[in-house]
Structure 1
Amino acid sequence: MSVRSAWLLPLTQTREDTRLSPTGTFAPESEIRTRDGVIAGGNPFAATGAGAMSLQIGVGRALVQGTDAQGAYPIAVDAPEVVTFTDGNAQFGRVDTVALHVYDQLFDTNGQNLARIEVFIGSPAATPTAPTLPAACLRLWDVTVPAGASAGVGGINWSSALADRRRFTTSYGGIIPQGYGTNFVGAYNGQYRDVNGVLERWNATAGAWQTYRPPLAVESATTGFTVASGYTLNQYTARRGNGMAFFALEITRKGAQLDVPAAGNITDESIGTVPAGWRPAADIELPVSDGIGEGSARLTTAGLIALRTWSGGGALRNDRNIRTSATYFLA
């Protein structure tokens, strides 16, 4: 048996059926319904051309939801299955669907209990659409069958005929993987899904999927800055989070004034060191000012802040409050 289902065959469910089928509590779709879909892992139910009019469906596991009264059927396909398509209509193309179909004689009139991979034939039309499926079916692939297609004239072009219709499900509380069809409502507040690599969370109050942005983890500090000799620290305030940092610094020069050449360049006058963990990923330039004069400093990856220029030449006088601030990427 290549298509197995748990909780379907009375008195004959095997141990292999139970081990292979995805049993457990899966993502809900309503108070009583389960979101059916494919169980992610590898490339479940992969489709590969197996002949001019034949398609091979690979192994995989899935949940197939029937009516509310039926519930959901766990399915495992443990060996590839080949399905064959009927010849195309003479005038119009059509779209057929390859689906997992569960037959349950307690709920349908087919008189059998089994699960199978089946082709549902669409209606030929100038603009064909995929067929509507009965209950207890899970659509996997839509296949365009051109007008007049047959094994004798080349059959179906599998490189262009296949449309992936696999949607995914997950266990309760898990993130629903990206798959076909993202236009569905969430079942409960706080449900998560992945859409093209973007994590979304269902907001039941707003009735919408919203991009999930984790809370910004911000750490603050007012200590840790080591002031250089000849300066007094007045204030150091820093914040960091999500790979970025900001600090504001005020120091006062004490003792003799700093003579500045006419060109304004200073030979790296150290004013202090930023603590480890708060240092930039690359050297950056900082604006500095004492309210009268202004210049620049460099913050290095080692955390050293050094004055490099001062406007107008002359001197950087003592007892002046020098201020600087910066926002940068953390190392």
Structure 2
Amino acid sequence: MNLRSSWVAETGQTREDTRLNQIGATTPVNPVQIRSGILPGSYSGQFRLSGFWMSGSAAMSATIADGRAVIQGDISQGVYPVSLPTSQTVTFAAGNDQYARVDLVVLRVYDNLYDGLTRNEATIEVLQGKPDPTPQAPQIPARSLALYEVTVPAGASAGNGGIPWNTALKDLRTPVVSVGGILPVEGQVFPGAYPGQFQDSGGALQRWDGGAWVPYPSALGGIIPNSASTLTASYTGQYRDSAGGQLQRWNGSAWAPAVPGPYFTGSNDAGYTTSTTYTPTLLDKETTNPVTLTFTAPPSKAVLISFGSRSLSASADHYAYISVKVTQGSTVVWEPDDERSAVCASVHYTSVGTVQRLTNLTPGASYSITVMHRVVANTLNLKAWFDNVYLRVDPQN
């Protein structure tokens, strides 16, 4: 038997046995016990877990590659380190005439002190399953680490095609690392043992927060990278680099732009009004009537509102006003006002515009803003024309 163990045999443990099994791999599951598993690594560095890898070598035989592992006994029994310095071959019994079965390949430690079987050694064993229409693998014995399930078809034998190795194997191996090491996840995902423990899931680094494995960026308050932007948010205020390259913030129910805006809309279609009170719509205007947009209030509670147009009052004595109305739902935040307006008084088209600062907004709330127009009171029914109307909202930091 090539498999070597330490602190099992009553006599005969060699210095070589002891050296081979200085593993130090103790991924904890509680304050006293560790997880049974295999040390990760490969000769080329290309694979996460090569130890005890199994492949078919003959019709009814397979080769198990060299490797090192630890096997946890009951809570009072301690940990058994084992190593396989060279590969080993295992053989499977011929298949049942009628039904398939599932065999289990395990690393197993016999300790006479606890099981009374007069054996003190570590072995690689094939535990034969029962033939059945829906075969199941045997139960894993105490002080054992499952390596593979092997489906043995009905009638399989050395002279009848043997075991189809490409489809018969189910890999059950799991890795372990030393305390504080980053665990490469292979196979079943186990809960963490303490907050702050790390594992590499293959696509993302994860941290155990005491109840779940959380993507590493969210655990530290960093930005979830673009490559992992489909991950579910963990808390309000988490940031991610979206698939479209936009920095976003989780607001508790959805991903929203981290820095919203700027928001912009406009219309190059001219229209006029004869109204002496502010109106959102213009006559003789076919598109974008009224000019309006919706914006989300930033955490600063303040925005800059820019608006203007190319205007014509038709008289130097009569003023054309352009202002804005701001609402939150049915609540009017700003009524259009001459004090917050751009004004034109010219018989020639003149470009006018202004910038106003709106404060005391509710962060995250949605607001609507609409461009409003009017002409000064007159008895001539003069028209105030507005063209190239624009509206822009810039959140302030």
Q: Judge same fold: TM > 0.5, yes or no.
A: yes
Q: TM-score, normalised by structure 1?
A: 0.64
In the alignment, the residues of structure 2 paired with residue 173 and residue 119 of structure 1 have an alpha-carbon distance, to the nearest angstrom, of: 34
Q: 1:202 to 1:19 in 2, by over 3 A?
A: same
Matched residues in 1 for 2:16 and 2:38: separation? 19
2:97 aligned residue: 90
Structure 1 SS opposite 2:135: coil
1:96-129 Cα shifts (integer Å, max 9, x gaps) = 0111111111112221221111101111111011
* Match among 185, 191, 215 for residue 211 of structure 1: 215
Query: Which of residues 170, 192, 197 in structure 2 aligns to 1:191?
Result: 197
Match of 2:178?
A: 171
Residue identity opposite 2:200 in structure 1:
D
Given the superposition, is the C-alpha separation of residues 117 and 217 from structure 1 closer, same or farther in structure 2, using an over 3 Å criterion? closer
Gaps of 5+ in 2: 43-49, 224-239, 248-257, 263-303, 311-348, 357-391
- Report the AA paired with residue 117 of structure 2: N
Distance 2:180 2:172 in 1: 23
Would you say how many aligned residue pairs link Structure 1 and Structure 2? 248
Partner of 1:257: none
One-letter code of the match for 2:20?
L
Q: Is the radius of gyration larger for structure 1 or structure 2?
A: 2
Q: Given the two structures, how large is their TM-score scaled by the length of structure 2?
A: 0.54
Residue 22 of structure 1 contacts residue 76 of structure 1 at CA under 8 Å; is this kept in 2?
no
Shift of 1:25: 5.6
SS at match of 2:170: strand
Q: SS of 1:101's equivalent? A: strand
Q: 2:207 pairs with 201, 207, 217, which one?
A: 201
1:160 is displaced (CA, Å) by 0.7
The aligned counterpart of 2:23 is: 23
* Higher strand proportion (structure 1 or 2): 1
**How do 1:30-179 and structure 2 match up within 5 A?**
30-42=30-42, 43-179=50-186
RMSD between aligned residues:
3.4
Amino acid of the structure 1 residue aligned with 2:40: A
SS at match of 1:24: coil
Residues 87 and 149, structure 1, Cα contact 8 Å, conserved in 2: yes
1:167 to partner: Cα distance:
1.0
Q: 1:59: Cα distance to partner?
A: 0.5
CA deviations over 1:63-117 (Å, ceiling 9, x no partner): 1112222211111110000000011111111100111111111112221221111
Displacement, 1:217?
5.6
Distance 1:324 1:289 in 2: 5
- Structure 2 CA distance for partners of 1:214 and 1:201, relative to 1, 3 Å: closer
Tell me, in whole angstroms, the C-alpha distance in 2 between the residues paired with 1:215 and 1:82: 47
**Identical-pair percentage:** 43
* Structure 2: distance between partners of 1:320 and 1:194: 51
Runs of 4+ in structure 1 deviating by more than 6 angstroms, as ranges, are 241-249, 313-317, 323-326
Structure 1 residues not aligned, in runs of 5+: 219-240, 250-287, 295-312, 327-331
How far has the Cα of 1:134 moved from its partner?
1.1
